[in-house]
Copies of this chain bind each other. A is one copy, B any other.
Amino acid sequence: MERVFNFAAGPATMPLEVLQSIEKNICNFEGEGLSVMEMSHRSKTYEKIINETRDNLRTILNLDNNFDILFLQGGASSQFAMVPLNLANNGDLTYYAVTGNFANKAWDEAKRWTNAVDITNSMSDKYKYIPHIDSSKIDKSAKYLHITANNTIFGTMYDNLPEVDIPLVADVSSNVLGKDYDYKKFALAYAGAQKNLGPAGLTVVIINKKYIRSDLDKSVPTMFRYDIHAKNDSMYNTPPTFAIYVAGEMFKWVLKQGGVKELEKRNIEKANMIYDILDNSSFYKPFAEKESRSIMNVTFNLKTEELETKFIAEAKENGMINLKGHRVLGGIRASIYNAMTIEGVKKLTEFMQTFEKNNK
């Protein structure tokens, strides 16, 4: 089969030119006589790769030296634990904006260690929108407010970051490098790589150095301590070397495209192509409320489950895969991260119009 259009929520589609560059170097990296997978993480060649990768991300996100960039493992799920263990003491007050399944998981995990309070919670409304945070309700002794910047399953997103007087922590897994936030506003932001950064198995953590603590409880595992990873430049243990290399190739591609501002513009354009159809049809029903809509994941329903199944199957026959919504929500979800082309979205919208005509 020729290349498909892959609308998966993550692991997700990557730019073909990035894959081709990796392919060219699989057996013999730039003529060095070995693969990146075989390189000692302490070798000069690999150190150059990881340093360049870190520097490029710093450039892309416009971060100054007050911030450390860490390359870790374990996905966002490990961060759900690391954030409270590192930023709070046992029993401290922390706030969570519960705007989706993963936000809820982060909150649950924080309860193991802190007095974690859901400052806002849209669960009873099926996470259809990003609820407002009433900053007058915030106790300033709280260690941080945790938000989920983009809710992959429900297709909602913070268009603007909440303004609060306590440290802001964000799970940016599904809109990092796709939505243009001011990262200097975060005390800490983290992202599993498998959406906009490359392959699964790598987690990027951006942390303001003033929140890195060394006086943690003895019970906190060494591998779950930001101070250890920061002090060792993400080389306390063997890092996921190949995944970091691939992320580095992605960062070079982002720079070549003109950075996050340009990619955000394209993402808005792509998302609007689909939302326009949803808003001008009684056949398709958008899920997320208008003012909370994501530019990364577009969620919608058809009249019946049967029709949705038919939609997904016919799309697949036409070379568009992974349009099925997450199992907790059902329906249709089109994930249109940075690497999804306008051409791919055009093909999807044309298919949607044809499908509507044929099944009205």
Q: Chain A interface (Cβ within 8 Å of chain B)? A: 1-4, 6, 8-14, 16, 19-20, 22-23, 26-28, 31-35, 37-41, 43, 73-78, 80-81, 85, 109, 112-113, 192, 194, 198-202, 218-224, 236-243, 246, 319, 321-322
Pair B221/A33 contact, Cβ less than 8 Å: no
Q: A28 with B3: in contact, given A112-B221, A240-B201 (CB under 8 Å)? A: yes
User: Which of A1, A194, A238 is the most central at the interface, judged by chain B CB atoms within 10 Å of its CB?
Assistant: A238
Measured between beta carbons, the chain B residues less than 8 angstroms from A224 are 81, 221, 224
Pair A11/B40 contact, Cβ less than 8 Å: yes
Q: A241 with B73: in contact, given A20-B27, A43-B322 (CB under 8 Å)? A: no
Q: Which residue of B lies closest to A74 (CB)?
A: B73
Q: How far is the CB of A19 from chain B (nearest CB, A)?
A: 5
Give A27 to B41 CA distance when docked, in angstroms.
Answer: 25
Q: How far is the CB of A131 from chain B (nearest CB, A)?
A: 26
Copies of chain A in the complex: 2
Pair A16/B27 contact, Cβ less than 8 Å: yes
Pair A241/B200 contact, Cβ less than 8 Å: yes
Pair B11/A33 contact, Cβ less than 8 Å: no
* Cβ 8 A contact of A243, one of B8, B28, B243, B319: B243
Pair B26/A38 contact, Cβ less than 8 Å: no
Chosen A-B contacts, 15 in total, with CB atoms closer than 8 Å, are A1-B32, A8-B38, A11-B37, A11-B40, A20-B27, A74-B74, A75-B223, A75-B237, A77-B236, A78-B223, A80-B222, A113-B219, A199-B242, A200-B242, A201-B241
Measured between beta carbons, the chain B residues less than 8 angstroms from A75 are 73, 223, 237-238
Measured between beta carbons, the chain B residues less than 8 angstroms from A10 are 40, 238
Measured between beta carbons, the chain B residues less than 8 angstroms from A73 are 73-75, 78, 201, 240
Pair A240/B238 contact, Cβ less than 8 Å: no
Q: A11 with B240: in contact, given A19-B27, A23-B27, A202-B201 (CB under 8 Å)? A: no
Measured between beta carbons, the chain B residues less than 8 angstroms from A220 are 112
Give A237 to B9 CA distance when docked, in angstroms.
Answer: 13
Pair B35/A223 contact, Cβ less than 8 Å: no
Q: How far is the CB of A32 from chain B (nearest CB, A)?
A: 6
Give A209 to B87 CA distance when docked, in angstroms.
Answer: 35
Q: How far is the CB of A152 from chain B (nearest CB, A)?
A: 11
Q: Which residue of B lies closest to A12 (CB)?
A: B38
Pair A112/B218 contact, Cβ less than 8 Å: yes
Pair B241/A40 contact, Cβ less than 8 Å: no
Pair B242/A40 contact, Cβ less than 8 Å: no
Measured between beta carbons, the chain B residues less than 8 angstroms from A33 are 1-4, 319, 321
A3-B33, A199-B241 known; 12 new pairs, CB 8 Å cut-off, are A4-B32, A4-B33, A11-B37, A11-B39, A13-B34, A73-B78, A74-B74, A74-B237, A199-B240, A219-B219, A240-B240, A243-B243
